[in-house]
Structure 1
């Protein structure tokens, strides 16, 4: 019921109240990044990664959380247009919340709108520079744009933060070197 009330509020009066600041999870995220770098195996790394996702997806308030959750549900069911609308609304309400941009970038990536995805990823990373998923998404987006060298550089940065990323399989040796 609370989610329904929050959704009604967000849809009827998105600018009636300002979005509060996103929760500051920087200390917890830094701790998780250190733990994932020491993870002994992929299973442990996935558990730590899930903890990171829980923090990234912790929206600033109930209304924003309801829209984020709804957009992510639509994206998972491949209602990409509906998801995009929800993430647009979330960003309009909470322009300083990195995950809104990251999720919209993911939808745009799925739509193969790589240029727009890259803009959103850059914005997400400006707000949250160690957002490993956004870094991995940026690497994939750059590769999708045919900018392989840039994509590889960003992928290396992402892997320096989380060596267990699934995208590690896309890493190529620098020219003239072996991995």
Structure 2
């Protein structure tokens, strides 16, 4: 009986994955928005551009994945982290090639201070969407949580190359948590 149930779950997982369409291709749109963020002259202008990035990242492959994403994000905002995690687990199982599912699950894990789990999901999100600025900055924050300071600093610098207006830039400022160590006199 246990074997039959395990086979049923495996077949169901394969069928669920097979049903998820390819995520919308927003690479050129994100690249264009990154260029705009780099050219922005004010933080307010850059925030508007970041909002446009979020619109593209959260454009799920189909209605089912959009519902899972939206429900999970609403639960996270209401601090129902267990419920949000369940929604994002379902989203990742259904659409394993959709970067935002991993990014959102990472955010929940980060909020729960499970930085190792967050880092695993962020690495997957970045592998799927290399210019996902939010995942890159989330990776830096997770590495900071793990006290891997040099890696956190490098990850944040990479994110800031794409969008120099990220609020996390304050971590690299003098006195910030990722302020590079000074030279002893």
Tell me the TM-score normalised to structure 1 length: 0.89
How many residues align? The count is 166
1:3-26 Cα deviation digits (max 9, x unpaired): xxxxxxxxx997285100000000
In the TM superposition, 1:23-172 aligns within 5 A as 23-171=24-172, 172=178
User: Between Structure 1 and Structure 2, whose CA radius of gyration is higher?
Assistant: 2
- What is the alpha-carbon distance in structure 2 between the residues aligned to residue 15 and residue 69 of structure 1? 19
CA 1:16–1:124 in structure 2 vs 1: closer, same or farther (change >3 Å)? Answer: closer
3-state secondary structure, aligned to 1:15: helix
3-state secondary structure, aligned to 2:16: coil
- What is the alpha-carbon distance in structure 1 between the residues aligned to residue 16 and residue 64 of structure 2? 12
- What is the alpha-carbon distance in structure 1 between the residues aligned to residue 63 and residue 16 of structure 2? 15
Unaligned 5+ residue runs, structure 2? 1-11, 173-177
- 1:175 shift after superposition: 3.7
- 1:173 shift after superposition: 4.4
- What is the alpha-carbon distance in structure 1 between the residues aligned to residue 88 and residue 147 of structure 2? 26
Deviation >4 Å, runs of 4+: none
Tell me the TM-score normalised to structure 2 length: 0.86
Unaligned 5+ residue runs, structure 1? 1-11
Q: CA RMSD in A?
A: 1.7
